[in-house]
Amino acid sequence: MPNENNHHDYPKDLALANGKHASVRFMTRADADLVLQFARGLPPDDLLFLRTDITDPAIVEEWIKLIEKGSTITLLAEVDGNLAGYASVHLSDTRWTKRVGEIRIQVGAASRRTGLGRRLAREIFDLARAHGLRKITAQMTPDQAGARAVFEKLGFQVEALLGDWVEDRQGHPRDLLVMTHDVAGFSDHVTA
């Protein structure tokens, strides 16, 4: 679970570029149906590149168990009463990578270009820092040019390109692009 020092910060209201506001809070077991509804409303291209199939109730249940175990922290953002996006940081149980976490951010089509993804990134980085993480990774395929551009704007750099490392939902092999960012320097990039 997120440490108690961070619980008082949420729920939090974030102003978006389109004049709307997002209410951001920690994901809980009670959010399973909300997450499934959000995932099933994502464009097909977004679903193609998700690391796990969050349209599957069993996968969402696994996600919730990781949250309850404390190895994943997820923030949900709601706009006008609907789930607009999420940001997660996945912590490592392995001793030698315990200071490294993986970030995953997904924003629904209706809330893109509002600054929500960037704001969620800042929130999840602050939580990562509070948990003692020193480096954050983001993984995607090279086809995901938009995602790569967003992470580059946030100060991520390409760490590795692994050929035929992953498989998409249709069973086609894809390269995996691994980008990294040092947590300590993140604030300089998100406020610019």
Asked if residues 87 and 103 have their Cβ atoms less than 8 Å apart, the reply is: yes
Q: How far apart are alpha carbons 63 and 1 in whole angstroms?
A: 13
**pLDDT for position 158:** 95
* pLDDT over 80 (residue 168): no
**pLDDT for position 8:** 67
| Distance set, CA 32 to CA 46, 53, 65 (Å) | 19, 13, 11
Taking the domain 4-135, which CATH number applies? 3.40.630.30
Domain boundaries, the chain: 4-135
Asked if residues 12 and 123 have their Cβ atoms less than 8 Å apart, the reply is: yes
Single pTM value for the model: 0.85
For 75-99, what is each residue's pLDDT tens digit?
A: 999 999 999 999 999 997 777 778 8
For 136-152, what is each residue's pLDDT tens digit?
A: 998 988 988 878 888 88
What residues does 78 pair with on adjacent strands? 23, 83
**Cis status of the peptide bond prior to 11, with omega within 30 of 0:** yes
